[in-house]
Amino acid sequence: MTAPTTPPKTAPAAPLVVSADDLVALVSRIFAAAGLAEEAATTVADGLVEADLEGQPSHGVMLVDMYVDRLRAGSLSTAATATVVSDRGPCVVLDAGNAFGHLTGPQSIDIAVARARKQGVGIVAVRHGFHFGTARRYALRAVDQGCIGITMCNTRPLMPAPGGAERLVGNNPVAIAVPTDDAVPLVLDMATSEAAMGKIRLAEKASQPIPATWAVQADGSPTTDARQAIAGMLLPAAGPKGFGLALMIDLFCGLLSGGASGDRVRPLYGDPGIPYDCSHLFMAIDVGHFCELSWFRAQAAAAANRIRDGKRAPGVAELFTPGEPEWRARQNANRTIRLDGAVARSLIKVAEDLHISAAPLRAIADDPSTEKHYAKT
């Protein structure tokens, strides 16, 4: 049965609905074939697919082909762990040696948590790091152990100083998670730019103007034109505030680790032979060293409920706590992912280049009885 509105299965924009478990299995096989140990390959795959489930495809399996390019070119290591550079009480410096942030990230936050459980606080700074996916994952891992979790990393320069006309700091993200009794994790995960480049690209496609706070032209002049913005630079969130935060994150990550900061961090999508070389910082604060964890959790849950139950502006249907949109996306996903057609094809290509089966993507794409898996967007 073929409905006339069903798009052709090879159309570039047609998303495929795939099971998360099948996708984890495929991506695991890809990374294992590219040289990672089996467990490490699964950990990386889990992290990527989780981002897709949370409605964050920019941190999802769309990264696989770039990761594999970098593994092949040697700028990304197949090692599963970072090595200890220095270890002084709650303060630890690690060298990730260009290993996957998806692997050194859990290692780093677990060290921070172990120190925090014993000494109240743990801070782990990581040099020669690589992309670690969403920062929220590591912050939430600390929460599972009764700790406040804080994660940061730097990126190459993307944003000018307020009034500037050249890229000086990355849109360096920070995630902060706190323990709560609420069913929904309470976690802030923010880049320090006012808006994501993806939103500007959407405005360009829709021929819509963008707010003047989102970006500037290449010479630093204001713009509300998405095309000029794409050729220009992202602006920091709330101007000098986001710029100052981004700078502090760059210095925390790059300097405390003795690693790279500023333009010594390279483009993620640049030459795959040149290490990305970002720096990370992980902090855990054991709540029990300050107050009763159960009281803290109850109070945090009450604060979340005050937000959710708060009065709403006209036309607003619901209010969300920080981290709730990602949690809801995950609940609604029901372990299935609507994969962008171009991403699906890139995965098939990577898999076949590595002489492994691209099932289940191929099966879905090839089987004429599976039109139901297609959806229009």
28, 261, 340, 358: residue in contact with a second copy (rule CB under 8 A): 261
Using rule CB under 8 A, residue 140 touches a second copy = no
What's the rounded Cα separation, in Å, for the pair 221 and 30? 44
Q: How long a stretch of residues is the chain?
A: 377
Nearer of residues 74 and 222 to a second copy, judged by Cβ: 222
Minimum distance from CB of 181 to a second copy (Å)? Answer: 13
Q: How far is the CB of 113 from a second copy (least distance, A)?
A: 14
Nearer to a second copy, 7 or 239 (CB): 239
Q: Which of the residues 317 through 376 are near a second copy (CB under 8 A)?
A: 318-320, 322
Q: Say whether residue 274 binds a second copy (CB under 8 A).
A: no
The CA-based angle 32-374-338, given to 5 degrees, is 50
> Whole-number minimum distance, CB 85 to a second copy, in Å?
9
User: For residues 11 and 307, which CB has a smaller minimum distance to a second copy in the complex?
Assistant: 307
CB of 135 closer than 8 Å to CB of 152: yes
Residues 291-310 contacting a second copy, CB under 8 A: 291, 295-296, 299-300, 303, 306-307, 310
Does residue 132 belong to the site contacting a second copy (CB under 8 A)?
no
Q: Does 267 bind a second copy (CB under 8 A)?
A: no
In the shown chain, the binding pattern of residues 67 to 96 toward a second copy, with x for contact by CB under 8 A and - for none, equals -------------------x-xxxx-x---
By CB under 8 A, what part of segment 173-232 binds a second copy? 176, 178, 188, 190, 194, 211, 213, 216, 219-221
Q: Give the Cα separation of 284 and 109 in Å (integer).
A: 7
* Count of residues that bind a second copy according to CB under 8 A: 74
The span from the CA of 240 to the CA of 248, in Å, is: 12
Q: Which is nearer to a second copy, 266 or 289 (CB)?
A: 289
Q: Which of 72, 199, 289, 330 binds a second copy (CB under 8 A)?
A: 289
Which residue in this structure is represented by tokens 């320090």?
192
Which strands sit side by side in the sheet containing 121-129, from one edge to the other? 83-88, 91-95, 121-129, 278-286, 147-153, 174-178, 186-190
Which CB sits closer to a second copy, 291 or 375?
Answer: 291
Tally the C-alpha atoms within 13 A of residue 166's C-alpha that lie toward its C-beta: 3
Which residues make beta-bridge pairs with 17?
A: 338
DSSP code string of 31-43: HHHTT--HHHHHH
End-to-end CA distance of the chain: 21
Please report how close the Cβ of residue 73 comes to a second copy at its closest, in angstroms. Answer: 29
The yes or no reply on residue 252 touching a second copy (CB under 8 A) is yes
Cα separation, 180 vs 69, whole angstroms: 40
Candidate residues 41, 121, 215, 364; the one interacting with a second copy per rule CB under 8 A: 121
**Is there binding between residue 311 and a second copy (CB under 8 A)?**
yes
User: By C-alpha distance, which of 141, 218, 213 is closest to 177?
Assistant: 141
- Residue 47 CA to residue 66 CA, distance in Å, equals 15
